[in-house]
Amino acid sequence: MFQTDLLKDKTIFVTGGGTGLGKSMAQRFLELGAKVIIASRKMEILERTAAELMKATGGEVLPLALDVRDYGAVNGALEAAVAHFGSVDILLNNAAGNFVSPTEALSHKAFDVIVDIVLRGSYNTTLAFGKHWIAKKQAARVLNIVTTYATTGSGYVVPSAIAKSGVQTLTKSLAVEWAKYGITMNAIAPGPFPTEGAWARLLPPGLEQQFVERIPLKRVGEHIELANLAAYLVSDQSHYINGEVITIDGGEWLKGAGEFNFLDVLTPQEWGEMERQVRKANKQ
């Protein structure tokens, strides 16, 4: 769907790029000509992923150990990336932590760990990269991965919900404030996309089918669908899109929100009866 040189000459820093959706997006960027840094805590996984992606695409991947909660370490990783590739043009804030739990069962440390990875991690990278780009007078782009419940809120993932909604607000705020420096910013809000990281922590055993039933398209997302959207949103082709949150969820959250959407349980006979009842009421 894209020209193969769409991201030629772009260097993209992907947090959490060793696994799951970060890995899939990194692979798509490489196929489209980008150079990629993947950064997270577990170096062994990053090295394995880097080797796999380089073999699959022929592109160049730099793995860097990084805990995004540590601002000093973020600056160190940025320096290492610039020393290796000459510059970094795009930041993808994808790293996250999450698990389902009744909120009252959480320790304060459990709350902290999620908010720190998701919100502090995202503003740490955004601030460090932003200061660097502004000092260098370099135009740049940021893409943040949030969730649909960043807008709606959700029980049982409350630390994640409040942190993702903070990242969403960061996106909208800095898209405006930093446009004058040529730094633009958007977010993607995915619905369910199977990954080992999310499924192991979020899907109670036996409830998988209920997850799919809630989605109007009756299927979960495919990684390539998200990766193509991300490729477009980091490319120069989408430059005039700034401060947006693009949902990619097969219509899932709207299905829950629309007052009468539950009526898809009615049979044709019940619809016939309903019509007769309404027409009768119209005549009275």
Binding site for ligand NAP (CB under 6 A): 15-16, 18-22, 40-42, 45, 66-69, 94-98, 117, 121, 145, 147, 190, 192-193, 195, 197-198
Task: Tell me how far apart the alpha carbons of residues 270 and 18 are, in angstroms, rounded to a whole number.
Answer: 51
Q: Could you tell me the two tokens for 141?
A: 């782009």
* Secondary structure E strands in 16-116: 35-40, 61-65, 90-93
Active site includes 181?
Answer: no
Q: Which is nearer to ligand NAP, 181 or 199 (CB)?
A: 199
97 forms part of the interface with ligand HXC (CB under 6 A): yes
| Closest distance of CB 57 from ligand NAP, Å | 19
Task: Tell me how far apart the alpha carbons of residues 267 and 125 are, in angstroms, rounded to a whole number.
Answer: 52
The dihedral formed by the CA atoms of 15, 21, 25 and 27, expressed in degrees to the nearest 10: 100
| Closest distance of CB 21 from ligand HXC, Å | 9
Q: Which is nearer to ligand NAP, 138 or 201 (CB)?
A: 201
Q: Which is nearer to ligand NAP, 71 or 181 (CB)?
A: 71
The entry of ligand HXC, ligand NAP, none near residue 22 (CB within 5 to 8 angstroms by kind) is ligand NAP
Task: Tell me how far apart the alpha carbons of residues 186 and 175 are, in angstroms, rounded to a whole number.
Answer: 7
- Binding track, positions 242-261, relative to ligand HXC; x by CB under 6 A: --------------------
Helices (H) and strands (E) in the chain, counts: 12, 7
H/E run at residue 83: helix 71-85
Residues that bind ligand HXC (CB under 6 A): 96-99, 101, 106-107, 109-110, 113-114, 147, 160, 191-192, 197-198, 201-202
